Structure 1
Amino acid sequence: MKLYRFLTGPDDASFCHKITAALNKGWELSGSPTYAFNAATGTMQCGQAVTKEVEGKDYSPDIKLGEQ
């Protein structure tokens, strides 16, 4: 099965670490990152889609994507 996640976070090192951790767990970047201003917090936010192919499992809405 192919899994999809959209990771978001503030425009700082924590977002880069979040993406790096996902890549090291076998997730792959999908498309370009996004960058937007969050008016509620007054900060810039980043987003990046990632996908991962997992063999031998069937999709279920109960899957914890972050644990894959």
Structure 2
Amino acid sequence: MKLYRFITGIDDSEFCHRVTQALNKGWDLSGSPSLTYDATRGATICGQAVTKEVPGDYSPGMKLGDY
């Protein structure tokens, strides 16, 4: 089955570390990153989609971060 996650966070090193961790767990980048500005928080917010092929069947109760 193919899993999908969309990782989001403030544009800082923590966000980059989260994406790097996903890549090192076997996730693949899917498309370009996205950026938006949150005027309320005064911060740029990043998003990056990642996908991963794993054995088994999909269940809505799965914790995708565990993969």
Which structure carries more strand by proportion? 1
Cα root mean square deviation, aligned: 0.5
> For residue 31 of structure 1, what is the amino acid of its counterpart?
G
Corresponding residue number in structure 1 for 2:58: 59
Shift >3 Å, 4+ stretches: none
Structure 2 residues not aligned, in runs of 5+: none
Identity of aligned residues (%): 64
The Cα shift of 1:5 comes to: 0.3
TM-score, normalised to structure 1, is 0.96
Corresponding residue number in structure 1 for 2:47: 47
- Asked whether 1:5 is paired with 2:5, we answer yes
TM-score, normalised to structure 2, is 0.97
Q: How many residues align?
A: 67
Distance 1:2 1:32 in 2: 19
The Cα shift of 1:39 comes to: 1.7
- Asked whether 1:20 is paired with 2:20, we answer yes
The Cα shift of 1:11 comes to: 0.6
